[in-house]
């Protein structure tokens, strides 16, 4: 039996994922979590075969959570689930040690296949991401400015470039406006930029936002 832990801060999403898996005789959702702290607490006392993890959660993001989890559970495969475009996170997740990336719109058709493939030792890559990887290996292998960013900084960069204000980001991530402003300054410094417009242009040019 494949034991699955689902982590998403939206109850409707968690329930939807459980319904997708409910009729599978070889897959069981043994627990669910609404934030990273609950994931850590469960994994501290229990074992699962795969973690299905949302990228954007209040407080500690999915990418940050993976870094922490892999310190104590380096072999635990993590399938990331998100409503954000694959070009924003897909390659970064794979390079950071994630086992796969699944867009939430594809979950009804692909979730079961993704879980079985990953637990079997493979990685789940959508056709769109596979095409991106195949068509841009030289581009990926070249060191780019955004690769110097931490996972949290990268997440915030994409949100800023998508047009979200500091206040909107702070509200979504349950962080203070001052904290987001500090991150923004740090991102601009690392990217050798001065304005959000420069950041947005860079992200669009490199296919990080649409």
When pLDDT is cut at 50, 70 and 90, the band that residue 138 belongs to is very low
What CATH number has the domain spanning 144-205?
1.10.10.10
98-102, 115-119, 140-144: segment of lowest average pLDDT = 140-144
The SS3 assignment for 61 reads coil
Mean pLDDT of 58-79: 91
Average pLDDT, the chain: 87
What confidence tens digit (pLDDT) does each residue in 180-194 have?
999 999 999 998 899
Model pTM score: 0.75
Domain ranges of the chain: 2-137, 144-205
CA distance 159 to 129: 20
Share of the chain above pLDDT 70, in %: 92
Per-residue confidence (pLDDT) for residue 134, from 0 to 100? 64
Question: What is the β-pairing status of strands 27-33 and 50-54?
Answer: unpaired
State the residue for tokens 């637990």.
Answer: 119
**In whole angstroms, what is the distance from residue 18 CA to residue 133 CA?**
31
DSSP single-letter state for residue 124 = B
- The pLDDT tens digits for 15-31 are 999 999 998 999 999 99
pLDDT tens digit string along 99-112? 999 888 888 889 99
Q: Can you give the three-state secondary structure of 4-40, one letter per residue?
A: EEEECCCHHHHHHHHHHHCCCCCEEEEEEECCHHHHH
Element (H or E) spanning 3, and its range? strand 2-7
* Percent of the chain topping pLDDT 90: 53
Residue 155 confidence class, pLDDT cut points 50, 70, 90: confident
- Domain 2-137: CATH superfamily is Response regulator (3.40.50.2300)
Neighbours of 141 (CB within 10 A): 8
Q: Answer with the residue of higher pLDDT: 151 or 139.
A: 151
Instruction: Answer yes or no: is pLDDT of 117 > 80.
Output: yes
For residue 185, what are its two tokens?
């300054």
Per-residue pLDDT band at 142 (split at 50, 70, 90): low
Mean pLDDT of 37-42: 96
């Amino acid at each position: 039996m494949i034991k699955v832990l689902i982590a998403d801060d939206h109850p409707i999403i968690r329930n939807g994922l459980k319904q997708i898996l409910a009729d599978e005789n070889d897959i069981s959702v043994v627990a669910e979590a609404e934030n990273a702290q609950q994931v850590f607490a469960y994994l501290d006392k229990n074992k699962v075969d795969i973690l299905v993890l949302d990228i954007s959660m209040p407080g500690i993001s999915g990418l940050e959570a993976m870094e922490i989890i892999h310190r104590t559970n380096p072999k635990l495969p993590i399938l990331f689930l998100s409503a954000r475009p694959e070009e924003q996170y897909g390659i970064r997740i794979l390079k950071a040690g994630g086992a796969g990336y699944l867009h939430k719109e594809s979950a009804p058709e692909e979730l079961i296949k993704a879980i079985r493939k990953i637990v079997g030792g493979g990685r789940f890559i959508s056709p769109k991401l596979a095409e991106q990887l195949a068509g841009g290996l030289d581009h990926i292998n070249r060191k780019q400015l955004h690769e110097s960013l931490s996972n949290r900084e990268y997440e915030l960069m994409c949100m800023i470039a998508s047009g979200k204000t500091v206040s909107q980001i702070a509200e979504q991530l349950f962080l203070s406006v001052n904290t987001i402003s500090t991150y923004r300054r740090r991102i601009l410094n690392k990217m050798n930029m001065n304005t959000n417009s420069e950041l947005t242009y860079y992200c669009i040019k490199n296919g990080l936002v649409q």
